[in-house]
Every structure is written in structure tokens, then in C-alpha cells.
A and B are shown apart, each in its own frame.
Chain A
């Protein structure tokens, strides 16, 4: 062993990640091209939409002589501020994984790697993992600013120069915060804590957005109000916020003003933050990493009273009962899962509140319209259910991951496994759907007929949505994923959402159209033909039943055929 050999640098530590990405890119699997095309097409559509909306808005702003630039600057600051808070949060969480929980850290901890080297390598990874989505979103937005203000091609490198320290700052701050947390709490508990912090922070954002009542913008006076709305928004602005520096630098450049001060502030603060983070890392990482491996806490169940669920499941066969209890226990003990329930609860409150804010009393709002709106609401509620199914039911087969050998080698049918997963997903969704549609119907003050039809329709949707989520999750499993929240973002998740939306649209159309026609005919005293409703309703039922049974059967066959070591 040569004593004087130079030690590894950060690039060497990152080398495996590059190499792995290269190998992944080289290996083509059937369907890869299809996936790429779908993802690229969707991405391009999204980019174009964001760019077009941004450009239209900014051009409109520019047309307002006095306050146009001010508004554009303010809008940019607001967006950047929300991006900065999202970045800070996601970096804090990603840092936990990258600095303390990653499985390759054992090897690095045992190797003679300098703390500063490890810090820079992991910081780069953390920043990349957390910022790529924000960076992709910033691209069309900044392109719109550049185009609207005729910034020219030189605006692109300048924007990069400004955005880089903006992305680096929250990475360094978030990593430092995580380091402090891990040194106080064991890492596994820190992860729980972070999940809850994230959930609450996102909830707060959603509630704040809701409280701003942006639907006012949809009123006829529209844009006039929007100007006032943007101008009056009490967005926190302070010369100490990095998002303000970015906005100041970009708007300054576009308007031909001096940009040195905000640029110097950005790079200075970023360098300082990285230096402080590096110093903290050198002092506290080894202790934190050691503690991160001690987080497993013992759980004693001896003497615990028989839970209600255990009593409820006592009539099932031993296998099904154990499968159901396992699903529920694993779900309840995974903080990344239940913390999202907090978020979900707030989103539902916001959803119901949205319905309450609907302008139901204004001009042109007839009883007919009030009774037709529930069918639109049905489609929206269906979409909410599909999103929840994507988040909680879709990953369920993937989460079996390395335990699948146990299930496959046990003497029970895969039908039992799917049965347990289906009902554990469907029952909560059922309760939720009834509350969602029931509560919004009551707020809308709909008739009993509409109430019954919409409730029946949403109940009928729950089963095929659960079955589709389960089936797509089985056909496109992500067995190696350790984070349940990432699984639905896969290609299979996208396919599930697409087929879910088609199903929801079909059911809403098949039930809503004849029912609405019936109501309109009744309102205007035309001839009503209740029989005309029968056929579409029957088609809807057949559709729901087949969209439940067929995917489950296919999923069962797939599970039976699955080979995994």
C-alpha cells in the first residue's frame, strides 16, 4: 500500500453513480422506447403549456405601463420563494438518505475518505436529487421571462449562473439541518419526524393557497382583478431572502440594470453555507452515521389488548387474517405512509371547501345547474380516489419486494394475497368516497335522486379503481424501491392513472348524462323517459364489474408466474 497515494476526490466517489446511469441507459428492455416516448411527449406538452401561459401573462404585464415590471418581478419572487421552501424541505429529506441511510455508506465510512470529500460528493447528490424537478419547472418559466423581455440567448447562461447558487443554498442548509437532527435523534426516528414536518408544511401551503381563494380570478372581471390580486398579495419579501436576490438579478439583467450585488450575495451566501455545512459535517457526521444505525427500537406487544381490527378479522381464515393484519400493521408502522395521510386529510378538507366556495347563488345559477354539478363533482371525486389508489394501493405489491419469497414459498394461493390487498385498499377508499361525495352533495343541496345516483356511481368506481391499481402495480412492480412514495411515479403508475381517468370519465358520462337529461326534461316539463337511463346504467355496472374482475384475474396470473430470487 503506497503511503503517499492521494486519497479519493468527490468525483471519484460519484463515479459509480455515473457508471450506473450509463449502464442503465445502455440496457434496453422491451417497452423502454414506448415509455420514453410517452414520458417525453407528456413532458414536452407540460413545458409548452407552462411556457405559453407564462409568456401570455408576462406580455400582458408588460402592457401595463406603470406596474408591469413590478408585477413580473413580484410574480417571480413568489414562485421562487415557494420553490425555495420546497427545495429546503426536499433537500432536508434527501440529505437524510444520502448522508446517513444509504447502503453504500458502510464502504465509504470504512475507507480513508476525507470528511470534506464525502461532504461535497453527497451534497452534490442531494442537490441533484432534490432540485431536478424544480430546475425542469424553472426552465420554461425562465424561458418565458427571457422571451417576454427579449433577453436574447445570453439570458440562458446568465440564468444558469443565478440559479446554480439558488439550488445549492437549500441543499447545504437542508443537509446541515439534517446533520443536526440526526445527532439529536436516531436517524430512523428523524425520518419519521421529517415526514411529519414535510406533510404539515405541504398542508400549510395548500391551506394558504386555498385561503387566497384564487377562484375569484375566474369571475368575469378577471384580469383587472388579477393585477390587483398579485399586487395586493402579501408575499413575504425581505432583502435577506435568496429568492429575492434571484428575482432581483434576473429582472435587473432583463431591464439592463446592475446585477452585481444580488449575484455576489447569492454566490457568497452559497459558498458560506457550503463551508459551514462542511465544517459541521467534519465534526458531526461520524457520530450521526453511527447513531443512524442504532435507531431500530424494540416494540413489545406482550399484553397488548386485542385490537378492534383483530376482533373484526377473527372470522376470516388464518391465512387471510394474517395477510390483512400484516398489510395494516406494515402500513401503520411506516411513517412515510401515514404522514401522507395527514396531507390527504387536508387535501380533502380543501376539496370539500372548494365546493362550498362555488358561486352557487350568483346570476345564472339554476336548480338544474346545481343538480348537474354533482356529476362533474363525481368525476373529480373519482380522480381524487384514483390518486389515492395510486399512492397507497399501486405500490402494495412492489412493497412485498424481498419478502415475496416467503409468500411464494408458502402454501397459499396468490388469490389470498390479492384478496387481502384488494380489501385493505377498497374498504378505506369506500368510506372516503361516501364522505367525499355525500358531503359535497349536501353542500350543493341536491335532490335525493341525484344523491342516490352519484353515491351509487362513486361506490361502483371504488372497486375497479382499486383492482386497476393493484393490477398495474403487479404488472409494473418496483421491487427494489425502498420508498413507497416514489413507486407511483413510475411508468406503471402513469398507465394506471391514465386508465383510471378513462374509467372515471366513462362512468361519470354513463351515469351523469342520462340523469342530467332526465332532470332537464323534468325542469322544462318535457317528456321524461326513465327507461332511457336503464341501458347506460347497466353498461356502467358491467364496465365496473369487468374492470374489477379482469385486472384482478390478470394480476393473479402475473403473480403466479412471477419469478424472483
Chain B
């Protein structure tokens, strides 16, 4: 497993396990995301990505193992750990009867920030995502993509050193997707860290410094694209590596199902 060294570790996961009854969703996961890295988290549906991210965000409690964010142990010192984190869930809940701006103020308030600086940053972020015309409209009037952009803006409003984001591109129009990609790149260039799960392999391949692939609760590959290619022994694209690791029998099953 690839491990970046020399830079400050922002996310450190050690022997992380999550069991739901007899089902193990995450199996002894070890992972490190250093400062300034954009880490891509891949895997088929049900591989354990969301469970892992929800454990990092402190929403789910691990069955075993530990999570440290910016050096703070999430279990021992949750407040300090969460202060350093911005989490964007895959199915975010936003209060329908709040306006976009009110929601951003509330999100900043949760991190102890308020006042003119928050308003200024909120307006900038909304403008960045073409939502400035909607900032005083109730969230219930927003489309799916607009809600997604609002929740992304809310994670940036307090400028956390670490952002954990689950499937951020779902529902975004091409322009917003491009803005978000640029935002993540620029954010990591400035020394912040982003851990992003995605099903769009081209995005992971083009954007991420390192990529981890999960399968059945285990990290089956982790490293830079170069390292992944080296491990696979072929000069493959990420899609080929991913499919080989997670489900090369798909095509066969597809034909069988269609012929049935």
C-alpha cells in the first residue's frame, strides 16, 4: 500500500473495522491521507466506501480501530477532530424551508463561525456555483444539482483543512463539475486535503494524487496511478485495473441475463 511520507498526516485510519451483525462492511482498513493530497476512493456499490467515510465523519462508530483527523483522535477528542473536517455526504439532508444563505450561515455556525466574514464567504461560494441568484430562495425550490452545490459550498464555508466527500459529481452539470474539480485541485494545492469517493474513473484518474480501491470491505489497491499500473503489470487505464480487481465477470453475467 502506498504511503506518502514527509508531509503531515491529515487522515490516519488504523485497523478500522465495521460490522453490522454478522456482516462485515469494513475489514481492518489502514489508510493515510497526507496534507495537500487529493485522495480518490473507489470501489463497487456496497464495497464499504460510504461506511468508511461516515466513520471518518464521526457519524458511525467503528467496531474496532481508530481514525485520526489532523492529529486528533476522533474517539478521544471528537470536537477537535471534527473542527478540522468538512464532510459532504452522498445523500445530504438540507432543511427545505431555509434559504441557501441561511443554510450556509447555519453550517458555519456549527463550526463556531458567524458574522460578516461568513456572509462574504457564503456569497462568494454561492456565486462560484452560479447560485447567487438563488441565495434567498427556499431550498425546497432547488433542483437536485443545486442542492448538491449548496451542500458542497457548506463544507467549504468554514475552510476546513480536511474535506471528505462522498460522490460529489452526482447531479452536477458539466460546468459545475469542472468548477468543483478546479476547486478541489486548488484547495489541495494550498495545503488542504481532500478524500473523495467517486464512480467516475476518468475523474479519479485525471484528478487524484493517489487512488484507493475497496472491494468487500478491504482496500485491495492503493497508490498513485503509476504504482497501480506497476502492481497490475500492464500499462492499463484505471478502468481496466478497477474491473480486474472488482468484477471482471460482469460482461459474462450481462450476456447471460439478457439471453435468459
B97 at the interface (CB under 8 A from A): yes
Q: How far is A3 from B158 in the complex, measured between Cα atoms in Å?
A: 11
Q: How long is the Cα–Cα vector from A513 to B234 in the complex, in angstroms?
A: 92
Does B176 reach chain A (CB closer than 8 Å)?
no
Tell me which residues from 99 to 116 in chain A have a Cβ below 8 Å from any Cβ of chain B.
Answer: 103-104, 106-114
**Counting CB contacts under 8 A, is A1 at the interface?**
yes
Q: Which residues of B contact A5 (CB under 8 A)?
A: 111-113
**Residue-by-residue, is A62-106 near B (CB-CB < 8 Å gives 1, otherwise 0)?**
000000000000000000000000000000000000000001101
A1 touches B160 (CB 8 A): yes
- A311 contacts chain B at the CB level, 8 A cutoff: no
Stretch at the interface among B7-15, B52-60, B202-210, B220-228: B52-60
- Please encode chain B, from 45 to 81, with 1 for each CB lying within 8 Å of some chain A CB and 0 for all others: 0000000000001111100000000000000001110
Q: What 0/1 readout, one digit per residue, does chain A (1-29) give for beta carbons within 8 Å of chain B?
A: 11101111000110110011001100000
* Across-interface contacts of A19 in B (CB, < 8 A): 95, 97-98, 102
Note all chain B residues with C-beta closer than 8 A to A114. Answer: 79
Which residue from B60, B97, B111, B159 sits with its C-beta under 8 Å from A112? Answer: B111
A293 CA / B89 CA spacing, docked (Å): 14
Contact between B98 and A109, CB atoms less than 8 A apart: no
Contact B98 A2 (CB under 8 A): no
Question: Within 8 Å CB of A53, what residues of B?
Answer: none
Q: Which of A131-150 contact B (CB under 8 A)?
A: none
- B119-172 CB contacts (< 8 Å) to partner A: 138, 158-161
- Which A270-301 residues have a C-beta within 8 angstroms of B? 286-287, 289-291, 293-294
| Bound Cα distance from A52 to B107, whole angstroms | 49
Pair A1/B79 contact, Cβ less than 8 Å: no
Decide: A1 near B98, CB < 8 A? Known: A12-B110, A111-B111.
no
With known contacts A5-B112, A23-B138, A104–B58 Cβ distance under 8 A? no
CB neighbours (8 Å) of A286 from chain B are 58, 61, 78
In the complex, the answer to whether A112 meets B83 with C-beta atoms within 8 Å is yes
Known: A1-B160, A103-B93. A110 touches B59 (CB 8 A): yes
Contact A110 B79 (CB under 8 A): no
Task: Check if B84 is an interface residue, CB within 8 A of chain A.
Answer: yes
Complex CA–CA separation, A290 to B75 (angstroms):
13
Contact (Cβ within 8 A) B98 A16: yes
CB pair A24 B112 closer than 8 Å: no
Task: Give the shortest distance, in Å, between A5 (CB) and chain B (any CB).
Answer: 3
- Contact between A1 and B57 (Cβ–Cβ < 8 Å)? no
Q: How far apart sit A2 and B112, CA to CA, in the bound complex (Å)?
A: 9
Q: Which of B99-118 contact A (CB under 8 A)?
A: 99, 102-103, 106-107, 109-113
Instruction: Name the contact of B80 in the complex, choosing from A8, A16, A23, A112 (C-beta under 8 A).
Output: A112
Which residues of A are found within 8 Å of B138, using beta-carbon distances?
Answer: 23
Chain B proximity of A402: nearest CB distance (Å): 12
Q: Are A1 and B158 also in contact (CB < 8 A) when A19-B98, A20-B98 are? A: yes
* CB <8 Å contact, A12 and B79: no
Residue B187 lies at the interface, judged by CB distance under 8 Å to chain A = no
Q: What separation, in Å, do the CA atoms of A16 and B99 have in the docked complex?
A: 10
A104 to B110, CA, bound (A): 13
Q: Which of B59, B83, B106, B111 contacts A16 (CB 8 A)?
A: B106
Would A113 and B98 count as touching, CB distance under 8 A? Answer: no
Residues from chain A with a CB closer than 8 A to the CB of B213 are: none
Query: Which residues of chain B are near A3, meaning CB under 8 Å?
Result: 83
Query: In whole angstroms, what is the CA distance A17 to B112 when docked?
Result: 18
Q: Is the CB of A290 within 8 A of B61?
A: yes
Instruction: List B contacts of A104 (CB < 8 A).
Output: 93, 95
CB neighbours (8 Å) of B39 from chain A are none
> Complex formed: what's the CA distance from A293 to B18 in Å?
12
- Residues on B with C-beta less than 8 A from A111 are 82, 107, 110-111
> Which residue of A is nearest B151, CB measured?
A107
Encode contact with A along B18-47: 1 for CB under 8 Å, 0 otherwise: 001100000000000000000000000000
A222-236: contact bitstring with B at CB < 8 Å (1 yes, 0 no)? Answer: 000000000000000
Interface residue from A7, A15, A23, A107 paired with B112 (Cβ < 8 Å): A7
Whether A109 contacts B59 in the complex (CB less than 8 A), given A24-B97, A103-B93, A294-B20, comes out as yes
Bound-complex Cα distance A8 to B60 (A)? 22
Assuming the contacts A1-B159, A7-B79, A20-B95, asked whether A108 and B110 have C-beta atoms less than 8 A apart, the reply is yes
Report whether B95 and A16 are in contact in the complex, using a CB–CB cutoff of 8 Å.
yes
Q: Are B61 and A6 in contact (CB under 8 A)?
A: no
Task: Please give the distance in Å from B22's CB to the nearest CB on chain A.
Answer: 10
- Contacts A103-B93, A106-B93; A112 near B110 (Cβ below 8 A): yes
Question: Which residues of A sit under 8 angstroms from B80, Cβ to Cβ?
Answer: 112
> What B residues does A110 contact at CB under 8 A?
57-59, 82, 85, 87, 89
Closest to B59 in A: A109
Q: With both chains docked as a complex, state the minimum distance between the C-beta of A389 and any C-beta of chain B, in angstroms.
A: 30
Please determine whether B109 and A20 come into contact, CB atoms closer than 8 angstroms: no
Complexed CA–CA distance, A29 and B93 (Å): 25
Give bound CA distance, A12 to B114, whole Å.
10
Extra pairs beyond A7-B79, A113-B82 (11, CB < 8 Å): A2-B113, A8-B112, A13-B110, A106-B92, A107-B107, A110-B58, A110-B89, A112-B78, A112-B80, A286-B61, A293-B60
> Would you list 28 pairs from A and B whose C-beta atoms are within 8 A, ordered by A residue?
A1-B111, A1-B158, A1-B159, A1-B161, A2-B112, A6-B112, A7-B112, A8-B109, A12-B110, A16-B102, A23-B138, A24-B97, A106-B89, A107-B93, A108-B110, A110-B59, A110-B82, A111-B110, A111-B111, A112-B78, A112-B110, A112-B112, A113-B82, A286-B78, A287-B61, A290-B59, A293-B60, A294-B21
A interface, CB within 8 angstroms of B: 1-3, 5-8, 12-13, 15-16, 19-20, 23-24, 103-104, 106-114, 286-287, 289-291, 293-294
Q: Which residues of B contact A (CB under 8 A)?
A: 20-21, 57-61, 78-80, 82-85, 87, 89, 92-93, 95-99, 102-103, 106-107, 109-113, 138, 158-161
